[in-house]
Amino acid sequence: MSSAPLRSPTPRPHRMKKDESFLGKLGGTLARKKKAKEVSNLQEEGRHAINAPMSPASADVHPEDTLLEENEERMMIDPTSKDDPKFKELVKVLINWINDVLVEERIIVKQLEEDLYDGQVLQKLLEKLAGCKLNVAEVTQSEIGQKQKLQTVLEAVHGLLRPHGWALQWTVDSIHGKNLVAILHLLVALAVHFRAPIRLPEHVSVQVVVVRKREGLLHSSHVTEELTTTTERMMGRFERDAFDTLFDHAPDKLSVVKKSLITFVNKHLNKLNLEVTELETQFADGVYLVLLMGLLEDYFVPLHNFYLTPESFDQKVHNVAFAFELMLDGGLKTPKARPEDVVNLDLKSTLRVLYNLFTKYKDLE
């Protein structure tokens, strides 16, 4: 009887390794649960801090906004401020301006904090506005690379703005951290410095929730951030003149001044069978200003130099700017107003321009 063939024993895993593997998995699961609980607790602390009794409304808190290091702080705009029509208008105006400037680059910005934080759009915007080329990598995916690009861009911005006394209310970390308040401060400064052909809404302020971590606990506070003031203050025209005094302290005399200026301009425009009754509206497209300069200086202005029937904002700005050039050619000083202010029906700006003409040509027949 033949004996059954011997079989080699089937190798079995070592009991300790199996136990270790099981415990390792169990330990990993427990560790993940513990970490998730810590994150959840920290998020809850952040929500509680922001929803404290001093807060008029609950802020839209993202998980990353509450995961702070010791002494680190995070700023968030209160949702009631985001719903303010002036705030929405400011954001819209700035987005449209950026897209207009970068139209040739085929860059379309839809959301400021998401599209500007990495420095790519800011680089293109500054290069276009300043007519320069920054020495930075075109595409940077890493956080370090993005912050290096932002550092270069912001240093260039600071070099332009510091000499004019701008308060620098942004940093590399705040821009890269998608801090919308910091981004708006930066864009407003650039728009004003480069005299953007836009009308920024005045007196825009937002309520900001500041969350700071101290001794392991999150503390919140509310501050008001002023994003824009008046157009004149933002443009740096702090020197008051007779029109500031007139508007502030003698509005009853405003009608007298307007009547004198209307009489002056009609004395000349009537030669072309034109008549002005409303200063703030009829000079806004620049046509009457250009024709008036031709009459005052006794020359014909070629029609191809300006838009006789302007339709767009840019065409109107072109006309007013062209009239300003004619004023400079006639020996007048640079008008204190901006072309955009006149186009935007700013009465004080229009009066300044016309009074400048009146003082020189009032005795002209």
Domains and CATH numbers, the chain: 72-235 (1.10.418.10), 239-362 (1.10.418.10)
pTM reported for the whole predicted model: 0.55
How crowded is residue 281: how many other Cβ atoms within 10 Å of its Cβ? Answer: 12
Q: 199-252, pLDDT tens digit by residue?
A: 888 889 999 888 888 877 888 888 898 999 877 666 654 445 566 566 655 667
Q: What Å distances lie between residue 156 and 120, 122, 125, 159, 300, CA to CA?
A: 14, 11, 12, 5, 44
Please report where in the chains the tokens 């293109």 appear, as a residue: 124
Model pLDDT, residue 44: 53
Q: Which residues, at least 6 apart from 322, have a Cβ–Cβ distance to it below 8 Å?
A: 286, 290, 305, 306
Spans of the chain below 70 pLDDT: 1-67, 163-165, 232-251, 365
Model pLDDT, residue 295: 94
Residues 229/234/238/240 CA torsion (nearest 10 deg) = -70
Distance CA 323, CA 329 (A): 10
3 state SS of 61: coil
Residues 246/250/256/257 CA torsion (nearest 10 deg) = 0
Model pLDDT, residue 19: 45
User: Which helix (H) or strand (E) segment is 224 a member of?
Assistant: strand 217-226
Please report where in the chains the tokens 């046509």 appear, as a residue: 287
